[in-house]
Chain A
Amino acid sequence: MVAPHFKQVLVEKVLVEQVLAEQFGDLLRTSDASRDGVLILSLPADEIHEAARILKKSGGRLSAEWATDDTPFGRELALWTAFAVPNVPDSGPDAGPDTKIDRFILIRSDVPLSNPAFPTLTGHFAAAYRFERIILSFFGIDSIGHPDRRPWIRHEDWPDGFFPLRKDAPIDAPFVRSNGSYEWIRGEGEGVYEIPVGPVHAGIIEPGHFRFQAVGETILNLEERLGYVHKGIEKRFESLPWTEGARLAGRISGDSTVAHALAWCRAVEDMAGLLVPPRGVWLRALFLERERIANHLGDIGAIANDAAFAFLLAQLSRLREDVLRLNKRLFGHRLLMDMIVPGGAAADLDAKGIEAIRTEMDRLSAEFERLVVIYDENPSLQDRVATTGVVTKKTAADLGLVGFAARASGISSDRRVRFPFPPYDELKVSEAIRHSGDVNDRVWVRIEEVRESIRLIREILARLPGGSALPSDGLSIRPQPGRTGLGIVEGWRGEIVTWVQAGPSGKVSRVMVRDPSQVNWLGLERAVLGNIVPDFPLCNKSFNQSYSGHDM
């Protein structure tokens, strides 16, 4: 009885690019810019739908989907899709360790200016819903068959026919509001009522609009509408020299300033073939883990506070403040902004600094563990967080969730493990995975990640290489025309994908940033269904998504 199963596994182990090659023959071309772990293909836009089906079948996830305007190269528009595909197709719970590693497959498709359209991927990947609405809003490229053609991030009063990311649209284009309208999803039936919230919320929070349909206290549906903090970041990147982009990337989402600056720098280094000195690589990881700890501490406290347990907020925000103050003392910035620059790290650490962080970690670890016990043993708090805001494993997989939200629903998603960028290839991160997918498990994943980050920081300090944190011979970013680069980083919220493209003269032509919130906002809409309205803040805080990172 063993043999057929074994055979089946072997058959499935055929690499997905071979399946694609057989399916598409000459239509499929492999770019010579492909490199270890990143395969770049090109395929006609009409076939991308079929390629997505094959990639989904082999366990792939649509990580990002975006467009470019390639008219400066003498071409027309293009659609890009990025899939994260397991190295070996996942063959069940007893699969080997290499199923834990992902590769990225990027597919480029030409889209003509005269007929800017391609068949939608929404039939295979839920994440495509919003990616394609963004492509329609910012490039005027239609996704045929998409069930929802309303604009996204672009609000209804934007001028008609204005597509900001097209090359013929100037960054300071005159803006005359039009009289558009937005069709909301409506609930009908006896006792169904609507609660509109935002964009200005009750607390010190970013702006966004939520519309609930409810019966009694139960949420029937939640519709998000975002875009309020759209600042035109992707367009602005195109007007900046390569050396200044890291500063802007560090302000895509202030709470993830390290992660975004790192993703941007890694993309640029990938594109231009720059090497980062070992000390720079390890210091970057130190900053990334410190950012993770600071955010997890603050958020666990805030979740408890939303369940009226202010004690934990006071305690954990005190620990967070300690981390920020040491950041300020050692590196000069509380949130570590502008510490990561192309080529390395802009701040360094001496022996006294290393000792200060070690002492801090010992103290933090002891204090944190005491608070974890209090979190875990408090029945009134557990009553609120357990079984609230559940996202099942299937829903999380269907939506393509990333980061701690995916891991709380039993999905391995940590890029430090699954696509380990240096120095994580040497650090061996232990991935925290829980299975209930409720508020409590999203907290628990983060508790375990604080512990792991403390361990990682100790290891980083012990192994910190000598030398300089920046290249000794200075830095020049001179990419070949048309060259692209990809940066993947696991920030505290999850996977960040940053993609850069050099123009014909080697300057910035296009920057695409996919913040984890751009997919995880879909998760919140599912998580609240059937919950009571008063639990919404708790569900929302347990995801704590970035509006700025989403709206860009």
Chain B
Amino acid sequence: MLRILYQTLRTGTVTEKMLPEADKEIEIVGNALKEEVHKRFHHSLTIREIDAGSCNGCELEIHAMNNPYYDCERFGVHFTASPRFADVLFVTGPVSRNMEIALKRTVDAAPDPKIVVAVGDCAACGGAFGTSYASLGAVENVVPVDVKVPGCPPSPAALIRALLEAVGRS
């Protein structure tokens, strides 16, 4: 136990005050949108992540949004297990044929109004996999998309920026 306390004290707070790579404008937008989350989403914006065929690269970076450096919960943003609680859906990957039905059902299961974010190049435009017998390409080919986040994969900072954009549009 002492070791744990000692390690915690030694590490201190690593959470970054400012988003890395973020310029001043985004800082302002970020703070404004934090307000927005507090005001319009009752201090709590909930995301359901759906992998519709990704290579798992995007999942790694979405995970990283929760690490101590980014700590997206401080903006009132957290991930949920059930689409029933979701305000935002993060969809990754080109939509595979074998995930098409599951994706539609999960999106349908989320209550309206909902914001669908296509995360990563594959979700935004089909990426390296394109369309084929097995892949339907971009997410918008299967369900309506509100915001697209380019990147292969998009960095955690880019994801947080995109989230703020998505909330601003809603």
Residue positions of A touching B, CB distance < 8 A = 155, 162, 164, 169-173, 175, 199-200, 202-207, 227-233, 235-236, 247-248, 251-255, 257, 298, 311, 314-315, 317-318, 320-321, 324, 328, 334-335, 337, 370-371, 373-374, 377, 546-548, 551
Contact = CB atoms under 8 A, between A and B. Distances in A.
B129 A318 contact: no
In the A-B complex, the 6 residue pairs with the smallest Cβ-Cβ separation, listed nearest first, are A254-B57, A232-B134, A202-B81, A317-B67, A254-B55, A251-B55
A207 B51 contact: yes
A230 B96 contact: yes
Interface in B88-108: 93-94, 96-99, 102, 106
A229 B54 contact: yes
B4 A311 contact: yes
Q: Which of A227, A233, A548 has the largest count of B CB atoms less than 10 A from its CB? A: A548
Contacts of B52: 207
B155 A334 contact: yes
A252 B60 CA distance: 14
A370 B8 CA distance: 12
Given A206-B56, A251-B57, A314-B68, A374 B3 contact: yes
Contacts of B133: 162, 164, 169-173, 175, 232, 235
A373 B7 CA distance: 11
A203 B90 CA distance: 12
11 contacts: A162-B133, A171-B132, A172-B131, A207-B102, A228-B96, A254-B56, A254-B60, A320-B67, A321-B68, A335-B60, A337-B152
A80 to B, nearest CB: 22
A99 B99 CA distance: 45
A204 B132 contact: no
A233 B8 CA distance: 44
Contacts of A318: 11, 14, 67-69
Given A231-B53, A315-B11, A377 B3 contact: yes
A330 to B, nearest CB: 15
Given A172-B131, A207-B99, A207-B102, A254 B67 contact: no
Contact of B134 (A207, A230, A254): A230
Contacts of B118: none
Contact of B55 (A171, A232, A548): A548
B138 interface: no
Interface string B127-167: 11111111100000000000000001101000000000000
Contacts of A173: 133
A251 B60 CA distance: 13
Contacts, number: 151
A247 B128 contact: yes
Nearest to B14: A318
B98 A324 contact: no
A457 B102 CA distance: 43
B53 A229 contact: yes
Nearest to A158: B97
Nearest to B50: A200
Nearest to A235: B132
Interface in B37-88: 49-64, 66-69, 79, 81-83
Nearest to A295: B60
Contact of A155 (B82, B93, B98, B152): B98
A239 B82 CA distance: 39
Nearest to B56: A254
Given A204-B59, A317-B63, A321-B67, 19 more contacts: A162-B133, A169-B133, A171-B132, A173-B133, A199-B99, A202-B82, A207-B51, A227-B98, A230-B96, A230-B98, A236-B132, A248-B128, A251-B55, A254-B59, A255-B60, A298-B60, A324-B64, A371-B7, A374-B7
A200 B57 contact: no
A229 B7 CA distance: 40
A102 B37 CA distance: 58
A324 B127 CA distance: 22
Contact of A370 (B7, B54, B63, B135): B7
Contacts of B93: 229, 231
Contacts of B135: 231-232
Nearest to B133: A173
A370 B57 contact: no
Given A231-B135, A335-B153, A254 B54 contact: yes
